[in-house]
Homo-oligomer: A and B are copies of this chain.
Amino acid sequence: DAFIGAIHRHAANMDGKIELVCGALSINKDIAIESGRSLFLPEDRIYTSFEEMLEKEAALPEDKRMDFVTIVTPNFAHFAPAMMALEKGFHVVIEKPITLSLEEAIALDQKVQETGLILCLTHTYTGYPLVKEARKMIQDGKIGKVRKVYVEYTQGWLSRLTERESAGAAWRTDPKKSGKSGVMGDIGTHAFNLAEYISGLEVTELCSSLNVVVENRALDDDGAVLLKFNSGATGVLMATQIAAGEENNLKIRIYGELGGIEWHQQEPNSLIIKWLDKPMETYRAGTGYLSDIGRQNTRTPGGHPEGYLEAFANIYRNFAATLAARIDGSSVNSDVVEFPSVREGIRGMAFIENVVKSNESTEKWVKYEI
């Protein structure tokens, strides 16, 4: 996938801690070679399948072979390379959603536990420093007990039958390649992950409605979900890809007894805190008054905006630091140097499956079950 592959490379490059040393960039030898050269790969480490890559890399001496593999193929092609990588002893970075089905995610989890290897799931949006700051604030009780969660992710790029022109749209709207829900697999899981990450809560029941809005589309492209959380809080999750004119409009608002937090992915360097009895505050990325986790997941001082690639790079940087510590036998402060992993992958897959189940049910509430 042209888009997400390049994103991963930019993000991995940014901090100078990760080097691309090999790749399985196409099953077509010529294309693979051409791509590999453009990325300055040595010819003997340009492969044409993940199997070839994993086998040949595993055969190299330990100090010569790659440390980890990144999997950025469409959803249906996550599980097999991830399993094989783990079996061959490689750590894994994997795009969300973690697999095509919950079942696969659970199998992957077992393999991770068995091998003790590190799996990093690139739920990008939790890489933003102010998302981490928001989570910390709620953990610290700043806004009191959480009462309400609104999370929404609106896009417009599937407002037309884009799948007829775009490979990225094509596999995302094909149930065999994308999974049981289009909109929830592609973006709903991000919204769900963000809600659980920041609130510190877990969804326990839900009521969903999914729609295929654009005629002749094979998968849903729009949906909304009413949520109940384990603490008694409630919420609403909205995800759509047919909101014509929207770009990548992920927003979250969480209200507690004392105030509410609000964060917009498209203006990620501000975190708004509204208080019951005092003026609204805007926390800004890169400032000195943030907590450790907010300050350390950034590169530039306030007013030098960081964005999507930096959030993504934070995930890679935290993963790389964790991996380097593993190799060195040292350790990192995992309160600050953290990234999503297989647990988040399982919860996301269960979210998709439970949303689909609820959508098909005439009962109002469905239990969120794994």
B266-A213 in contact (CB<8A): no
A248-B302 in contact (CB<8A): yes
Closest chain B residue to A124, Cβ basis: B304
Interface residue? A236 (CB, 8 A):
yes
Interface residue? A113 (CB, 8 A):
no
Interface residue? A283 (CB, 8 A):
yes
Main secondary structure of the interface of A (DSSP, over half): loop
The residues in A between 278 and 317 inclusive whose CB is less than 8 angstroms from any CB of B are 278-284, 286-289, 299-310
Minimum Cβ distance to chain B for residue A11 (Å): 9
Copies in the complex: 4
B268-A279 in contact (CB<8A): no
Q: How far is the CA of A278 from the CA of B207 in the complex (A)?
A: 35
The residues in A between 152 and 172 inclusive whose CB is less than 8 angstroms from any CB of B are 152, 155-157, 159-160
Please, which residues of chain B bring their CB within 8 A of the CB of A310?
307, 309
Q: How far is the CA of A65 from the CA of B240 in the complex (A)?
A: 52
Minimum Cβ distance to chain B for residue A367 (Å): 13
Please, which residues of chain B bring their CB within 8 A of the CB of A307?
269, 300, 304-307, 310
A280-B281 in contact (CB<8A): yes
Interface residue? A245 (CB, 8 A):
yes
Q: How far is the CA of A243 from the CA of B253 in the complex (A)?
A: 9
B143-A238 in contact (CB<8A): no
Interface residue? A362 (CB, 8 A):
yes
Please, which residues of chain B bring their CB within 8 A of the CB of A268?
305
Q: How far is the CA of A273 from the CA of B284 in the complex (A)?
A: 14
Contact A248 to B304, CB < 8 A, known contacts A234-B222, A280-B282: yes
Among the stretches A13-21, A51-59, A74-82, A104-112, the one at the interface with B is A13-21
Q: How far is the CA of A305 from the CA of B265 in the complex (A)?
A: 8
A364-B309 in contact (CB<8A): no
A275-B244 in contact (CB<8A): yes
Closest chain B residue to A267, Cβ basis: B267
State which of B6, B15, B275 has its C-beta within 8 Å of the C-beta of A13. Answer: B15
| Sample of 8 more A-B contacts, CB < 8 Å, known A245-B280, A279-B282, A304-B308 | A224-B226, A244-B256, A246-B255, A248-B304, A267-B267, A278-B289, A307-B310, A363-B363
A-B contact pairs, 27 of them (CB 8 A): A7-B300, A10-B14, A10-B15, A16-B39, A16-B40, A148-B213, A148-B242, A150-B238, A156-B260, A156-B276, A159-B257, A207-B207, A224-B234, A242-B255, A245-B273, A245-B275, A246-B274, A247-B303, A266-B305, A268-B305, A299-B309, A304-B307, A307-B310, A309-B309, A361-B364, A362-B365, A363-B364
